[in-house]
Structure 1
Amino acid sequence: MKTDDQVVEADEAVPADAWRRMHPVTPALKGWKAIVAVVAFASYQFADDVRAASDLLAGRGWLFAVGLVLLVGVVGFAYSGLAWRMTRYAVTDEAVHYRSGLVFRQQRQARLDRLQAVDVVQPLLARLFGLADLRLEVAGGSGSAVSLAYLREPDAQALRSELLALAAGLRRPTTNPSAADAPAVPLPGGEPTAAVPTGRVPGFEEAPEREVYTVPMSRLLVSTLRSAGVVGLVVMLVAVVAGALIAQEAGPLFALLPAALGFVGALWGRVNSGAGFRAAWSPDGIRLRHGLTEQRAQTVPPGRVQAVRLTQSLWWRGPDWWRVQINVAGYGTGDDAARATVLHPVATRQEAAAALWLVLPDLGVEDPWELINTAMSGMDDDGGFITSPRSARWLDPIGWRRRGVRVTRTALISRSGRLVRNVDVVPHERTQSLGLDQGPLQRRLGLASFVVHSTPGPVSPRVDHLEAKAAAALLDEQAERARTARASAGPELWMRGTA
């Protein structure tokens, strides 16, 4: 049996009546992807030779093409139907068990004590049928996630609540509690709010939530127009059109089309994923909801965020907007992870501070607002930051005065960038490992780079060009802080004792 701490392949004994199937419409939602793949492949092959494509479809050629597409569709739907019959899942107090495979049978076990996030994702077609994909992100590297696609949307939401409650340390009661028996759940500020039974999952109630911020659609659109992608697209268009006019040829305009479509696709992706973005605090974690054609409801349990990055591009400097991203073990990298790791797509300074508060309510200083302001726009040793010495200007003549690091009681905070400002925050207990980098020029100038290793994601904390002795001392001190913080960290079962 091959095992690791998060996902194992095993023939685990689970009661027969505990296994459930996905929704019967699932094969229809998955089978059409084979047709899309064939059409996309053909379009790619003949995109550069339209005449060859027209010759191929001439006469009765189109009948052959249609027949091929239909054949692929039949095979795709048949395979999806067989796969649906062989796919099952079961939920126990300790894990989610998942069985799949036609030729090679596989059983996976996602341990709930390693649960990093639970997402309810609704692609456009699934939403039309009232279905959703429940995705469990588990700390375990590549391939550790479990996707339950597709379930009825109410069932997916109810199962999400059940899994979060089990992961938090609660256990199924023998009787279904009434509203009067529901425990009071504390919200930020200390006031208790009674949980309200949903009636969807016997024995479990959906935890209450408090909305922290929402993103107006107008701000999202304006921020997209002020992004570097739009600036790059405009510059490219002007250059290519000017070249076409000078050469009096239209060829450069056609050559521009793929690049322009790439820019437009990236911009649409940002709008599509950020539409309707809102965040809320709940006892079961940080709740994020966003998406236009594909709606996503994320829940990140407390303490699962490994690092936070606040970024401000040059084009956002005027309105003082910031983008907030996070590292969460299990999300990893890729297009889907890029959408899932956004904590705020375009935040005001106050909203960026609120987003950071969601992850780290205690920054370990008496005046956290002053610390955040200094990290965002401070220079040199403002706010007690350890900064690069003057010799660093030979390696970074523009941004050396912005580079710095500050260590508080609870976190390490680094800042960098003059044109594109970055602020990285890593809680001490989430430090994976530390290191020092020193190139030949740094060594000659007596400099070194301090590196904090985090889980895969958009945040890669490092402070370049510190004085070598200061960087070495910081390495030793931070290693001790991280060790102490992990030893005194709170329990993973964060809701045990509330029921």
Structure 2
Amino acid sequence: MSISVATAEPRRRLHPLTPLLKGARALVVIIAALSWQTLGRVGLGWFAAMVVAALIGQVILALISWYFTGYQVVGRELRIHEGLVFRRTRAIPLERIQAVEVVRPLLAQLTGLAELRLEVVGGGKTEAPLAFLTVDEARTLRERLLVLAGKATATVPAAEVADGEPAPVAHLERPIHAVANRDLLISQLLTPQTLLMPFGIAFVVVQFASEATWSFIGIASTLTAMAGVLLQPVRRILADWNFRLASQDESLRVRGGLLETRSQTVPLDRLQAVTATWPLLWRRKRWLRLRPHVAGVAAPNAGDDSGGARLLPVGDPETARLVLGEALPGVALDAIPFTPPSRRARWLHPLAWRVLGAALTDQVVAHREGLVTRQVLVVPYARIQSVRVVRGPLQRRLGLATVYADTAGGPSAAARDRDVREAWELAATLAERSRAARSVLAEP
């Protein structure tokens, strides 16, 4: 398929309401920056005046930024122009695009707008966010960028189709799974932060009742700290509300969100690995969650699963089998034959050595770890970039070694604390199977 694109199109501006939405979004940051101490020191009247003044200044800056910001598609590049004093133009080759998200924060939903976010190869964070566009503009631009990048097919106007070629046919989405909001709420109630919250509230009540010297600032600061403890489960609920997973054009489409709706794409040709996690308090219900690792897409911060794409925020083993089968056909978690490390590993992991395990199947290498929070990482052979055999000082003394299968910018599968001979045999097998899997992918 070839699509003829004009060498240059008129530069387009963002929506005129963009300065107001960015100013309103900065309101929370302004209040947090002034802090409760400022409120207690200057009083409510002056505090409100400071907030209003800072907000007006932010809106003025956002208005200037909006006036000098524009975007256009030139050939096979997305160009974004911005800057008043120092003009800057960012040219993003469409071949580097891995995913394009349509995100709708709460204020954008109320005004009928949306934000477009791009993930590019090698990017450590979201590249070139376009905030804000109308929903139709955002969806149309997303589809156009993905088609030009070769990540999707779509119906295009006849004038844009080369002579003698049929118009590409749009592939409809195939629904895979939708998570019940009730299960999502229960899963986040079964977290340490939520279960310990009543003890924190009781502590505040006792302190307030016994200490008459507690001030408004002290109470507010304590309540703010408690709210911070609940931030992670609350963010997960807000991010995964009405979670839906579908398949389209050799990729998985993820939708969800309450205050901020998201529409994400997980390209299967860039999928490096999948992590399955069983939190301790979920095990009685046999629940788990699945998270993909995609090359070129920024990963969430360590310990924070509220960011980044998810394949399944919460589900039972049968649902996990269905979802994992879409991402990695033929792979089932309960069918992976894990083998434990050497018994000498008890000296290094006296409690967790029975939990550790590794396995090689016909399609993937996997490892298992985690005494409290159980995790299984699955890596297809075709995604392995290198194989390492590592021996630390204690491992050398015990005659052990760990084999790592590294992926491109993603996690590494690890067969921990194996006998040295077994470790070298595993490394040779992994290297051979990786080469064979990549050669199959390279065949036309």
Range into which the TM-score falls when normalised by the shorter chain: 0.7 to 0.9
User: 1:408-459: per-residue Cα shift (whole Å, max 9, x none)?
Assistant: 33321222234322111112222243333333222221222223334556x5
Work out the CA distance in 1 between the residues paired with 2:37 and 2:165: 61
User: 1:31-50: per-residue Cα shift (whole Å, max 9, x none)?
Assistant: 2344433221112544xxxx
Counterparts of 1:89-100 in structure 2, within 5 Å, are 89-92=71-74, 94-100=76-82
| 1:359 aligned residue | 327
Give 2:298's aligned amino acid. Answer: Y
Give 1:373's aligned amino acid. Answer: D
Work out the CA distance in 2 between the residues paired with 1:452 and 1:182: 44
Counterparts of 1:97-246 in structure 2, within 5 Å, are 97-143=79-125, 145-168=127-150, 175=158, 206-234=170-198, 240=203
The one of 247, 262, 265 aligned to 1:281: 247
> Contact conserved, 2:300 with 2:307, CA < 8 A, in 1?
no
The one of 23, 26, 42 aligned to 2:18: 26
Give 2:360's aligned amino acid. Answer: V
> Contact conserved, 2:143 with 2:154, CA < 8 A, in 1?
no
**Counterpart secondary structure, 1:233:** helix
Tell me the CA shift for residue 164 of structure 1: 2.1
**Counterpart secondary structure, 1:489:** helix
> Contact conserved, 1:332 with 1:455, CA < 8 A, in 2?
no
| 1:323 aligned residue | 289
> Contact conserved, 2:154 with 2:171, CA < 8 A, in 1?
no
Larger deviation: 127-136 or 337-346? 337-346
> Contact conserved, 1:161 with 1:206, CA < 8 A, in 2?
no
User: 1:144-186: per-residue Cα shift (whole Å, max 9, x none)?
Assistant: 62211111112212222222222227699671699xx999xxx
Change beyond 3 A, Cα 1:272–1:419 = same
The one of 339, 344, 347 aligned to 2:307: 339
> Contact conserved, 1:310 with 1:423, CA < 8 A, in 2?
yes
Tell me the CA shift for residue 141 of structure 1: 3.0
The one of 405, 415, 421 aligned to 1:463: 415
**Counterpart secondary structure, 2:85:** coil
| 1:424 aligned residue | 377
| 1:57 aligned residue | 43
Change beyond 3 A, Cα 1:78–1:15 = farther
| 1:486 aligned residue | 438
Give 2:419's aligned amino acid. Answer: E
Work out the CA distance in 1 between the residues paired with 2:225 and 2:40: 25
Counterparts of 1:341-420 in structure 2, within 5 Å, are 341-363=309-331, 369=332, 372-375=333-336, 383=337, 385-420=338-373
Work out the CA distance in 2 between the residues paired with 1:431 and 1:18: 44
User: 1:116-150: per-residue Cα shift (whole Å, max 9, x none)?
Assistant: 22211000001111111111101123256221111
Change beyond 3 A, Cα 1:229–1:453 = farther
Tell me the CA shift for residue 471 of structure 1: 2.1
Tell me the CA shift for residue 234 of structure 1: 4.7
- Structure 2 length as normaliser, TM-score? 0.85
Tell me the CA shift for residue 259 of structure 1: 4.1
Work out the CA distance in 1 between the residues paired with 2:63 and 2:158: 37
> Contact conserved, 1:141 with 1:332, CA < 8 A, in 2?
no
| 1:197 aligned residue | none
- The count of corresponding residues between Structure 1 and Structure 2 is 431
Q: Percent identity?
A: 34
> Contact conserved, 1:114 with 1:138, CA < 8 A, in 2?
yes
User: 1:71-125: per-residue Cα shift (whole Å, max 9, x none)?
Assistant: 3233222221221122222235633222222222222232333322221100000
Tell me the CA shift for residue 215 of structure 1: 0.6
Work out the CA distance in 1 between the residues paired with 2:393 and 2:207: 46
Change beyond 3 A, Cα 1:333–1:295 = same
Q: Give RMSD over aligned pairs.
A: 3.5
| Structure 1 runs not aligned, ≥5 long | 1-13, 47-52, 184-202, 364-368, 376-382, 495-499
Change beyond 3 A, Cα 1:485–1:21 = farther
Work out the CA distance in 2 between the residues paired with 1:460 and 1:44: 44
> Contact conserved, 2:30 with 2:55, CA < 8 A, in 1?
no
- Structure 1 length as normaliser, TM-score? 0.76
Work out the CA distance in 2 between the residues paired with 1:221 and 1:102: 46
Work out the CA distance in 1 between the residues paired with 2:87 and 2:169: 35
Work out the CA distance in 2 between the residues paired with 1:33 and 1:217: 27
**Counterpart secondary structure, 1:142:** coil
Change beyond 3 A, Cα 1:92–1:212 = farther
> Contact conserved, 2:176 with 2:245, CA < 8 A, in 1?
yes
